[in-house]
């Protein structure tokens, strides 16, 4: 590994200044489970590594039914799984975070890092897209908030500008009868990279089982995670019956743009998008009906 | 010239001040700077778990962490598992169950198992397997490792060996077993 300089600022201000001073030569370090591999392989060669885990604002999960969720960029996946609010209100995002690698990896890896690494197969990104998450960024020109849908531009590339840092992910509080789910397909039980991942979030009117809000996020079936807009829209106002789910699954398949690679063929991936869309919608619906959170 | 930095940390209960390059992984620092060679290098990509140490109660791949990130942390390595000459019950049960052959994966398994039992003294078999899933072993086929952890949990709780019926009673023999007993393989 090439020589680096390491800084661990204690405040967001300090981190922003450091990153601004070094621009493209700097890279934020969160859990490091991607970055250290990239440093070793030489695929990223920052001169400055800015560890963001010492910044209190980035290391916390804050949730209330009034204000929703603020998930700091440096919160390790295991802390999400261990958080009662996360499991209760965002079970889909929680299961996505709990699917990433082994416990050793979950002790370090973060949802923020998963997003900023920009892999099309990131497990937590489709779950974030489904929840309508926004990313709060801080950089040399100040702060901005951008939707997670659209955050990734190409494999390994995101909207982050040189010197810019992900501070937190913001997710609205769930409606009374709302929930989410995430499933991925891998050819083994655990510890693999998604061949297909699907996240779904639903809000229901339980008086007639009608969909008030629906969002479906797809992973590993395009150069970036995908928001399946047509599929999501097709559900709104509809009763969530088998026909509605089938229609959404077809539209989700149409939104996927997979390629053939060693993990699976495009044709297989399209098929799996349909299967997982049906299943995540069914799970999210079940959870949403059972939820009663206001 | 390589820039070196001072890192203050705590390893196996002792405060440690060390000098390392920021680019060095915690695994390199443990092995090359502190000469704690019990943590093993397998893949350097977070896949094999041979480098597992426990940091602030959590299992971590020391190959995926910079040494400088250890600042202010409490680290337990395989060298901190036995109390002097007396083996930790996990080590004892690994020997009794012949849970190792070549032994390169063993320190990592032991540290993952320790992190598990410290948090959950009475894990189910599924929980044990899940907690050890980040550790790869090319020799044993895992079953004997799972039995050792089950036995260790039972022993620590003052229960006898649970009735898993098919447990072979041999102890670790051969070179790996002797070396482990002598502390040469950690
Ligand atoms: S050497 Fe660290 S996980 Fe393999
Ligand atoms: S005993 Fe040889 S790899 Fe596990």
Q: What is the pLDDT of residues B47-80, one digit of tens each?
A: 999 999 999 999 999 999 999 999 999 999 999 9
Cα A12 to Cα B73: distance, rounded to the nearest angstrom: 21
Query: How far is it between the farthest Cα atoms of chain A?
Result: 62
Q: What is the pLDDT of residues A60-90, one digit of tens each?
A: 999 999 999 999 999 999 999 999 999 999 9
> Which single residue is written with the structure tokens 């041999």?
B170
- ∠ CA B2-B7-B11 to the nearest 5 degrees? 130
How far off is chain A from B144, nearest CA to CA, in Å?
Answer: 20
Give the residue-averaged pLDDT of B84-92: 96
Domain B86-182 has CATH 1.10.150.120: yes
CATH number for the domain running over A56-171 = 3.30.465.10
Question: Which is the closest atom of ligand 2 to the Cα of B176?
Answer: 1
Cα B32 to Cα B35: distance, rounded to the nearest angstrom: 5
> Which single residue is written with the structure tokens 């009475």?
B122
Name the token pair of A270.
Answer: 């399209």
CATH number for the domain running over A5-51 = 3.30.43.10
ipTM of this complex prediction, to 2 decimal places: 0.94
CATH number for the domain running over B5-80 = 3.10.20.30
Q: For residues A49 and A29, is the Cβ–Cβ distance under 8 A? A: yes
Distance of CA B131 to the CA centre of its chain: 12
Q: What is the pLDDT of residues B5-33, one digit of tens each?
A: 999 999 999 999 999 999 999 999 999 99
Give the residue-averaged pLDDT of A12-41: 96
CB contact under 8 A, B64 and A2: no
Q: For residues B11 and B39, is the Cβ–Cβ distance under 8 A? A: no
Cα A249 to Cα A280: distance, rounded to the nearest angstrom: 10
Name the token pair of A13.
Answer: 């201000």
pLDDT category of residue A218 using cuts at 50, 70 and 90: very high
For B26-80, list the strands marked E by DSSP. Answer: 52-55, 58-61, 74-76
Among A1, A2, A191, whose Cβ lies nearest the Cβ of B133?
A191
Name the token pair of A76.
Answer: 């390790």
Q: Whose atoms come closest to the Cα of B177: which ligand?
A: 2
Pick the CATH number of A178-290 from 3.20.20.70, 3.30.390.50, 3.40.1410.10, 1.10.3720.10: 3.30.390.50
**pTM for the model:** 0.92
Q: How far is CA A73 from CA A53, A80, A119, A169, B70, in A?
A: 9, 12, 16, 7, 20
Domain ranges, ordered by start, for chain A: 5-51, 56-171, 178-290
- Whether the per-residue pLDDT at A15 is higher than 60: the answer is yes
Question: Which is the closest atom of ligand 2 to the Cα of B139?
Answer: 2
Domain ranges, ordered by start, for chain B: 5-80, 86-182
């Amino acid at each position: 590994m090439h020589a680096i300089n390491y800084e661990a600022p204690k405040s967001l201000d300090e981190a922003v200044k450091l990153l601004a001073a070094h621009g493209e030569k700097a890279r934020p370090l969160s859990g490091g489970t991607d970055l250290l591999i990239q440093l070793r392989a030489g695929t990223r060669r920052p001169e400055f590594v800015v560890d963001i885990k010492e910044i209190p604002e980035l290391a916390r999960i804050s949730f209330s039914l009034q204000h929703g969720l603020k998930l700091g960029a440096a919160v390790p996946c295991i802390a999400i799984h261990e958080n009662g609010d996360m499991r209760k209100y965002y079970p889909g995002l929680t299961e996505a975070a709990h699917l990433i690698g082994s416990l050793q990896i979950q002790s370090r890896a973060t949802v923020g890092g998963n997003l900023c690494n920009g892999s099309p197969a990131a497990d937590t990104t489709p779950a974030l897209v489904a929840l309508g998450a926004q990313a709060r960024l801080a950089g040399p020109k100040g702060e901005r908030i951008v939707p997670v849908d659209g955050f990734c531009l190409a494999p390994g590339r995101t909207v982050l500008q040189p010197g810019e840092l992900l501070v937190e992910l913001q997710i609205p509080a769930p409606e009374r009868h709302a929930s989410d789910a995430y499933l991925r397909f891998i050819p083994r039980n655990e510890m693999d990279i998604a061949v297909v991942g699907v996240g779904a979030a639903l809000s229901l009117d339980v008086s007639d089982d009608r969909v008030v809000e629906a969002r479906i996020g797809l992973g590993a079936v395009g150069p970036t995670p995908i928001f399946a807009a047509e599929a999501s829209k097709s559900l709104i106002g509809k009763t969530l019956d088998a026909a509605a789910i089938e229609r959404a699954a077809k539209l989700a398949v149409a939104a996927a743009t997979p390629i053939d690679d060693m993990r699976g063929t495009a044709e297989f991936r399209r098929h799996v998008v349909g299967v997982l869309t049906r299943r995540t919608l069914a799970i999210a619906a079940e959870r949403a009906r059972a939820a009663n959170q206001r | 010239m390589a820039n070196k930095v001072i890192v203050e940390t705590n390893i196996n209960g002792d405060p440690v001040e060390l000098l390392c390059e920021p680019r060095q992984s915690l695994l390199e620092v443990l092995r090359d700077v502190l000469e704690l060679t019990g943590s093993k290098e397998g893949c350097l990509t977070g896949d094999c778990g041979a480098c597992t140490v426990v940091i602030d109660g959590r299992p971590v791949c020391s190959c995926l962490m910079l040494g400088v990130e250890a600042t202010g942390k409490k680290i337990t390595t395989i060298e901190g598992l036995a109390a002097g000459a007396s083996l930790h019950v996990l080590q004892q049960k690994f020997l009794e169950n012949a849970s190792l052959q070549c032994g390169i994966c063993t320190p990592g398994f032991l540290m993952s198992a320790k992190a598990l039992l410290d948090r959950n003294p009475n894990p189910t078999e599924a929980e044990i397997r899940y907690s050890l899933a980040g550790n790869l072993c090319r020799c044993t086929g895992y079953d004997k490792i799972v039995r050792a952890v089950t036995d260790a949990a039972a022993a620590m709780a003052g229960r006898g060996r649970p009735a898993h019926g098919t447990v072979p009673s041999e102890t670790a023999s051969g070179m790996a077993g002797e070396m482990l007993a002598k502390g040469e393989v950690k």
